[in-house]
Amino acid sequence: MKHLFFICLVLLGTGVSAADYAGPIFDAHLHYSEEAWNGKSGPHPLPDVLSRMKRNGVKAIVANSRPNAGTLALASSELTKQAGVTVVPFIRLYRNRADYSSWFSDPTIYDMVQSEYAKGTAAGAYRGIGEFHLYESTNAKGVIAQKLMAFAEEKQLVILAHVDDVAIDLLMAATPSRGQKLKLIWAHTGIGGASAQRVDQLMARYPNLYGELSYRPGLVCDGGKLCPEWRALMQKYPTRFLLGSDTWVNGRWEQYDSIMQDYRRWLGDLPPDLANRIGWGNGAALFGLK
């Protein structure tokens, strides 16, 4: 009894209520771009971002940054090890903001991916490509987008794509297996609000399609709990959903605590095994972490 009282006090002290998910978190969508650190000491230098991860129980991250130097800094720092954070490095396709709207047909992007892939990182080989954006789904037919999907499948690299549901089909069609083998994390699981039925259809069609849940419209309902149709989707595909912070601008670093706290709240409303899979286990299994 005394012991239980002590646990409650500890939880109150961290702002976590007893019902919230309290396990480790795999942040499957994290950027450490240059405006956060300016190559040395921007508003969010390494000790700052790592302390945010640590105090939120984030034990592993998919790191991708514009340019890749941010990912390399996270991957090579002693501080990352000390914070207990495992870095899963992804090759970002953007050297600068202009690349957002032309990467899919720019051969120099393909060359950059090849050279980054050959170099690897201090935390080991790159494990994926992205995040990339396609604001027009038809750009998924761009010659470089098509080549990169085939390359990813061949090298077993995971794709992190901010695209609509039409582009998911087009990207999958570009692989030798027609999407049966490619591992693709769908950033935001359709930020444009593809219906839960459409997400269900795509998950059924592609066995290695994963849904990352930052910014997903319609996910959370009253009291910060999951909306019923999303709860049902997670129960139908328990191994296919992931969390992400999407620290695409510095404001997201400032909100990092509340982003994770919001996740912990709705995870706490799921059966513990499912909460643990979405919070940690699915990402860990996808990248072979302990």
What are the tokens at 1?
């009894």
Is 99 or 131 the residue whose CB approaches Zn ion more closely?
131
Rounded to an integer, what is the distance from CA 68 to the centroid of its chain?
Answer: 16
Report which secondary-structure segment, H or E, holds 72: helix 69-76
d(CA 175, CA 266): 35
CB of 148 to Zn ion, least distance (A): 17
CB 172 within 8 A of CB 201: no
CB of 32 to Zn ion, least distance (A): 11
CB of 271 to Zn ion, least distance (A): 29
Q: Rounded to 5 degrees, what are φ and ψ at 209?
A: -90, 125
**Amino acid found at 153:** E
Q: Rounded to 5 degrees, what are φ and ψ at 247?
A: -80, 60
Contact range with Zn ion by CB under 5 A, out of 124-132, 165-173, 188-196, 278-286? 124-132
Measured N-to-C along each axis, helices 196-205 and 165-173 cross at an angle, to the nearest 10 degrees, of 10
Q: Which of 165, 184, 174 is nearest to 143 (CA)?
A: 174
d(CA 65, CA 62): 10
Binding-site size, Zn ion (CB under 5 A): 3
Q: Is 131 in the site for Zn ion (CB under 5 A)?
A: yes
CB of 149 to Zn ion, least distance (A): 19
In the DSSP assignment, the letter for residue 242 is E
Contact range with Zn ion by CB under 5 A, out of 33-41, 83-91, 234-242, 247-255? 247-255
Q: Is 99 in the site for Zn ion (CB under 5 A)?
A: no
Q: Is 248 in the site for Zn ion (CB under 5 A)?
A: yes
Contact range with Zn ion by CB under 5 A, out of 65-73, 104-112, 131-139, 282-290? 131-139
Residues numbered 30 to 69 that lie near Zn ion (CB under 5 A) are: none
CB of 19 to Zn ion, least distance (A): 29
Of positions 153, 164, 212, 246, contacts Zn ion by CB under 5 A: 246
Is 90 or 248 the residue whose CB approaches Zn ion more closely?
248
Residue ranges that bind Zn ion, judged by CB under 5 A: 131, 246, 248
